[in-house]
Amino acid sequence: MKVAIPVFPGSNCDEDLYHALWDILQITADLLPVTVTNLSQYDAVILPGGFSYGDYLRSGAIARFTPIMAAVKDFASTGKPVVGICNGFQILTEAGLLPGALRANQSSRFICQNSELQVTNNQTIFSTAYQPQEHIKLPIAHGEGNYYCDLTTLAELRAQKQIVFEYVDNPNGSVGNIAGIVNRRGNVLGMMPHPERAVEVLLGGTDGLGVFTSLLANNQREDVHA
């Protein structure tokens, strides 16, 4: 399996993500500049957290116009997996790859803490390693993590089982306690919590591993059926 990690000016979780993939799981990963226009050689794309372009205008609003995001859209259209973590989630909503938007936290403060989540749907390609309704703990670190969508979209997300992770404690005011969602096709995941920061006992826990091992297992199944 080979993963592309786009690195935007202001990204600061790209090395953490690379460490989780390569050093912990031995998944081949490349850190790519925003000028890349073709991702066809990769099996998955993961957009890291950070503050792309300084979060000017809105978080992710400038990053969506980079050449690599056009390539990410093309990549996603083929059905291959795309993940956006924190700022990556914000970029995916700005790019129209996921519904809704990420707004300022209800408290208007930057929040950095461990947060308890419930695995609402463990049947996606990003969550099969977890048990149904399993509770996990992942770090969050964001000022604009308050997920918003209108009531019609929320009803659709629930009806189509697109909500993958929900907050148990809802630290930021997200509608429906949403912490992570997939698109209708199920191949694009956006989540505000950081699974790449929860892959080692030394750092406080390994609950984030399931996102990556689920992705790896799906890739291996695809290889078998290819």
CATH number reported for the structural domain that contains residue 16 in this entry = 3.40.50.880
Contact in structure between 100 and 153 (CB atoms under 8 Å): yes
Residues carrying an active site annotation: 86, 194, 196
What is the β-pairing status of strands 146-148 and 135-142? unpaired
Find all residues with CB under 8 Å of 164, minimum gap 6, and list them: 119, 120, 121, 124, 126, 127, 180, 181, 182, 189, 191
Q: Report how far residue 22's alpha carbon sits from residue 119's, in angstroms, rounded to the nearest whole number.
A: 25
The pLDDT of residue 226? 60
Give the pLDDT confidence of 188-225 residue by residue, as tens digits.
Answer: 999 999 999 999 999 899 999 999 999 999 988 877 66
Q: How many domains does the chain have?
A: 1
CA 148 – CA 98 distance, rounded (Å): 12
Separation between Cα atoms, residue 219 and residue 223, nearest integer Å: 6
Residues 75, 77, 80: CA angle, nearest 5 degrees: 55
- pLDDT given for residue 67 in this prediction: 98
Percentage of the chain lying above the pLDDT 90 cut: 95
Residue owning tokens 């993963």:
3
- The reported pTM is 0.97
Dig out the tokens for 135 from the structure. Answer: 């509770």
* Whole-number pLDDT of residue 225: 61
Q: Which domain range does residue 164 map to?
A: 2-225
For residue 109, what are the contacts with CB-CB under 8 A and spacing of at least 6? 143
